[in-house]
Amino acid sequence: MSMFKRLFLTAYILQLSLPALAEQQAEVDPWEGFNRAMFSFNAALDRYALKPVTQGYQAVTPDIIETGVGNFFGNLADVGSIVNNVLQFKPEAAVKDFSRVVFNTTIGLGGLIDVATPMGLPEHNEDFGQTLGYWGMETGPYLVLPFLGPSNVRDGIGRIPDSMVDPVGEVNPIRTRNQLYGLRVVDTRAGLFAAEELLSGDRYIAMRDAYLQRREFLVNDGQVAAFDEDQF
């Protein structure tokens, strides 16, 4: 199951325990007023622009091409995973991610086909926010970024070095680079359609708690007692 589906499934489960979580809200979300405003802004942008574009993309794009596009961007993301696994002193994971890039780029026709996963080389999805967490940096308050969505102070800072190792940033001409950025946004949004139906009630709180729980899970490599990934 994709990361996005897990995010929304977690949100659904966390909604069942919202009363117990309310006492912690002021501590984890001191900027709630600003965050809710940004959440509303992003929701409106999605409703009137991104979602219709993505629905049109899905309507005219065969499933096999959609899968290929997702695999292509997943292959590019593995480059960042290599760097962050090295920074986290995880040589085995770094070698596996490097192997993923090599096999998917060559045998997988530029990353359009994921041949590495069936070969026993799963993706690790490491980013610089996780690296900062590995080195002991606290998350800081929850933060909703305009256009980018859920984050926190640590992950927001981590986006800067992540962008520096993003292969798309090296593409020229600029027009092609921007087209790739746009296609990646649409591909990411397309992966959310099925999962977002699980959200109900206060969508802001559900999304916030799911994001924070998921990030804690990733930073600790799954060693979080409150989150049982096997149930997904």
Q: Give the confidence band of 193 by pLDDT, cuts at 50, 70, 90.
A: confident
Q: What is the rounded distance in angstroms from the CA atom of residue 172 to the CA atom of residue 193?
A: 31
Residue 4: how many other CB atoms lie within 10 Å: 18
Q: Is the pTM of this model over 0.85?
A: no
Sign of the C-alpha dihedral computed for residues 182, 186, 203 and 218 taken in this order:
negative
Amino acid at 176: T
- Residue 17 pLDDT > 70: no
Q: What is the rounded distance in angstroms from the CA atom of residue 166 to the CA atom of residue 25?
A: 34
Convert 126-169 into a string of H (helix), E (strand) and C (coil): CCHHHHHHHCCCCCCCEEEECCCEEEEHHHHHHHHHHHHCCHHH
Q: Give the confidence band of 165 by pLDDT, cuts at 50, 70, 90.
A: very high
Residue 145: how many other CB atoms lie within 10 Å: 15
Instruction: Convert the pLDDT of each residue in 92-148 to its tens digit.
Output: 999 999 999 999 999 999 999 999 999 999 999 999 999 999 999 999 999 999 999
Q: What is the rounded distance in angstroms from the CA atom of residue 140 to the CA atom of residue 49?
A: 31
- Residue 21 pLDDT > 80: no
Q: Answer whether 192's CB lies under 8 Å from 150's CB.
A: no
Q: What is the rounded distance in angstroms from the CA atom of residue 214 to the CA atom of residue 229?
A: 10
